[in-house]
Structure 1
Amino acid sequence: MTNGDRIPPDPEFVQLLDPDGERVEHPDYSVEFTPDEYRGLYRDLVIIRKLDAEATALQRQGELGIWASLLGQEAAQVGAGRALRPQDMAFPTYREHGILHCRGIDPIMPLGLFRGVDQGAWDSQKHKVHMYTIVIGAQTLHATGYAMGITMDGKVGTEDGEAVIAFFGDGATAQGDVNESFVWASVFNAPVVFFCQNNQYAISEPLERQTRVPLFKRASGFGFPGIRVDGNDVLATYAVTKQALDNARLGQGPTMVEAYTYRMGAHTTSDDPTRYRAGSEVEAWRDKDPIKRMRIFLTKAGIADDDFFTQVDDDAAKQAVELRERVLALPDPGPLSIFDNVYPGGSPLLDEQRAQQERYLASFEGGH
């Protein structure tokens, strides 16, 4: 087994809630939530984990072609997702199911994509979340270009300005697209936050085979700040992301946030993580579980009790059952639907291609 006993030491990062559920003070970051808001964060974490587990089960049963699980990364996504304002735009990869949840996107939407019935069907302008991006790192260029456009439209420089956030993994930092986006964002002072979910593995390659320095330090070489946050701490992730977004919308340029977290499951359902990492490593990270620490904190602070936790679990289970039923009821796309939604105003060439396909399909009618 490659690097089987690899258990990295805890790095220095911004943390407001430690693995034992204790609040930690930080000189530069803090959060002020009401009891309802604290409980809402916990509810988000539990629901997206349950729906994610249901999607994994659906794939194993042949109902999805593939699935990219977010197990272990819930706090990074909920913290960042809840830090976004309604006017901010998000550019995801293919694992940001928690971001979609925070932006009010129906959970059936990403499952339709992975079931192969559509290419992603949510309204990007309505929800301010672009489509999932499968090409590693490409969304950072899209986000940077969008952010440059915001600046040109005069939507930056005030408290109610707009900001952009681009999500990517640690492996994507080795891609040319990502580094090119850093250059453009820096030179044009674009209002974009580069949010790296460092889950320790680029598929099977551990972090130490990807970089010699902490990822957040790369930002300084491009001329903008970088900061590392405990990605399993939903409170710290929220605080750090919120400040980075606020700085962006005020015209202070890009920031890179490295959310130091861990992918508890496989890279996707086609991956076998037992081939490249040891069980002891997974167990060490299990002790840092984002949901467990938040539950301990809520209990110690008297913000939630067993009845609340039971209610959340029951609600999550109900939503998972409903999601399964909806996935199984998804209709297969018609063979001509591939021509839909290609151009908003249509295209003569596309019309001709559709007609050719119609004639081809019609040739099979009646046994011919």
Structure 2
Amino acid sequence: MLDIKHTICPSCSVGCGLNIVSKDGVVVGTYPYKRHPINEGKNCLNGRNSILQFEDSIKKPSFVKNNELEESDNESIIKAIKDQLDSIDANELAIICSGNNTNEEIDRIIKFAEEYGSEKIGFYGYNFPNFFGDVASYDDVYNASTILAIGDIYRDNPLLGRRIVLSKENGAKLINLDDVEKSITSLNADEFIQFKDGEFADKIDALKDQLDENSVIIVNKIDSKEDFALIEGLSKGANAKLLPVFNAPNSKGAMNRLNSLDNDEIKDLIDNSKVLIVVKDNLLDYLSEDDIKGKSFIVNISNEKNRFAELSDIVLPGKFWVEKSGTFTNCEGLEQNFSISAECENDNLSEIEMFDELA
């Protein structure tokens, strides 16, 4: 018998509703959530493919030796982590969370760090700084007269791209700024501006006369925190609304709680720690192997079977997002609750349970 339950899509920070279809504890598909106010019964390919992570994932807690995972059990792995924590000073522990964690998980991890005495905790914000200013709503995008899209919104965030399409049908002008020669967004833009190294500041400055209080700036990709400051300055100068769009479902929730770190700050965290706990993140998405290899004892809390798992010392798979309840905060600032949408057959602990054990 099929079981259909509602959750929030984990593919990006737009915050679409998603129905998970399972049978006998096995996730077999997705189905659009018709009444969700953000995606209104539509799901993009990213959302539909979100269940592919179940097909090739790490199932058992494992020690890693010579790049090979040797399966163990939760009790042995938790004890090994505790032994490592007992062998170092508090300031030698670093924790990297991610926008894939729920708000509740982040709160628990922060409490653990505080009790342990470590202040070295943050998450990789893909070069976005902590941003607490007002953001544009999706209705603002729909009602805008001019939209400046920085990055490929149509490809990376299709359901937000749909709002742009509807806005264009209402007469809005779409300007796309990117460092690529061609993208889905650039091909659908009324004006495409490509920039090369060293040109970003000039291109941003040249746009100030095209924006006003009826404009919205949407950005999902930046090269540095300094570049974001230029975008924020353009927004304030033109009185245009700003909407940063992040690559993970709860990056905004993480940003509300933790320091958003860039590449250099993550490297510094690793270089100055002896034990590194990484929760639901792949450091090789933004660092090289040389940046992490041999620097710290790495506890990798993740289900992903990848090269980073092979470079870790311990891999502790947690529950998949469909096995959890909690909240994600989307890029619009909306905090959405979701409940367990599938009961998978495994002995994995949730991240909250892991840190309860470690405490």
Asked if these proteins are the same fold (TM beyond 0.5), I'd say no
More helix by share: 1
Normalised to the residue count of structure 1, the TM-score between the two structures is 0.31
